[in-house]
Amino acid sequence: MDPRIPSLIEKAERALIVTHISPDGDAIGSLLGLGWALRALGKHSVLACADPVPQPFHFLPGHQEIVREPEGTFDLVIGLDASDPQRLGSPWQQAEGLDAPKIVIDHHVTNLHFGDINWVDTTAAATAEMIYELVQALDVPMNVDIAQCLLCGVVTDTRGFRTSNTTPRSLAIATRLMEAGADLNLVTEQALNRKPLAVLRLWGMALPRMQMRGRILWSTVTRQMREETGVNDNGDGGLVNVLVSANEADVAVVFTEREDNRVEVGMRAKPGFDVSQVALSLGGGGHPQAAGCVIKGSLEEVQELVLSALEESLRRQGGE
CATH of the domain at 133: 3.90.1640.10
pLDDT at 234: 61
Low pLDDT (below 50) residues in the chain:
none
- On whether both 180 and 303 belong to a single domain, the answer is no
pLDDT at 256: 94
Total domain count for the chain?
2
- On whether both 132 and 275 belong to a single domain, the answer is no
- On whether both 181 and 269 belong to a single domain, the answer is no
Q: What is the CATH number of the domain that holds 301?
A: 3.10.310.30
What SS3 class is residue 256? strand
Say which DSSP state 88 is in.
Answer: G
- On whether both 170 and 205 belong to a single domain, the answer is no
What SS3 class is residue 41? coil
To the nearest 10°, report the CA torsion of 270, 51, 298, 312: -20
pLDDT at 259: 81
Distance CA 240, CA 230 (A): 19
- On whether both 25 and 164 belong to a single domain, the answer is yes
- On whether both 169 and 147 belong to a single domain, the answer is yes
Which of 193, 226, 250 is the C-terminal boundary of a domain? 193
Q: How far is CA 19 from CA 24, 150, 211, 247, in A?
A: 10, 14, 32, 33
- On whether both 37 and 172 belong to a single domain, the answer is yes
- On whether both 178 and 201 belong to a single domain, the answer is no
- On whether both 139 and 253 belong to a single domain, the answer is no
Domain holding 16, by residue range, is 4-193
Relative to beta strand 76-80, strand 14-19 is parallel
- On whether both 174 and 311 belong to a single domain, the answer is no
Pick from 282, 274, 287, 280: nearest CA to 313 = 274
Which of 167, 193, 219 is the C-terminal boundary of a domain? 193
Relative to beta strand 102-106, strand 117-120 is parallel
Which of 128, 161, 193 is the C-terminal boundary of a domain? 193
How would you list the strands of the sheet with 262-269, edge to edge?
211-213, 216-221, 251-258, 262-269, 290-296, 285-287
Helices (H), the chain: 4-11, 25-40, 89-95, 127-137, 144-157, 168-179, 184-187, 197-206, 223-229, 239-243, 276-281, 299-317
pLDDT at 3: 93
Pick from 280, 275, 273: nearest CA to 319 = 273
Q: What angle, rounded to 10 degrees, do the helices at 25-40 and 144-157 form? A: 160
Distance CA 88, CA 79 (A): 7
- On whether both 40 and 104 belong to a single domain, the answer is yes
Angle at 21 between CA 19 and CA 25, to 5 degrees: 65
- On whether both 114 and 243 belong to a single domain, the answer is no
Distance CA 308, CA 306 (A): 5
Amino acid in the structure at residue 267: M
- 108-156: pLDDT as tens digits: 999 999 999 999 999 999 999 999 999 999 999 999 999 999 999 999 9
Please list, in sequence order, all residues whose beta carbon lies within 8 angstroms of the beta carbon of residue 103, skipping any fewer than 6 positions away: 5, 8, 76, 77, 78, 79, 115, 116, 117, 118, 119
pTM of the model: 0.88
Under 8 Å between Cβ of 72 and 81: no
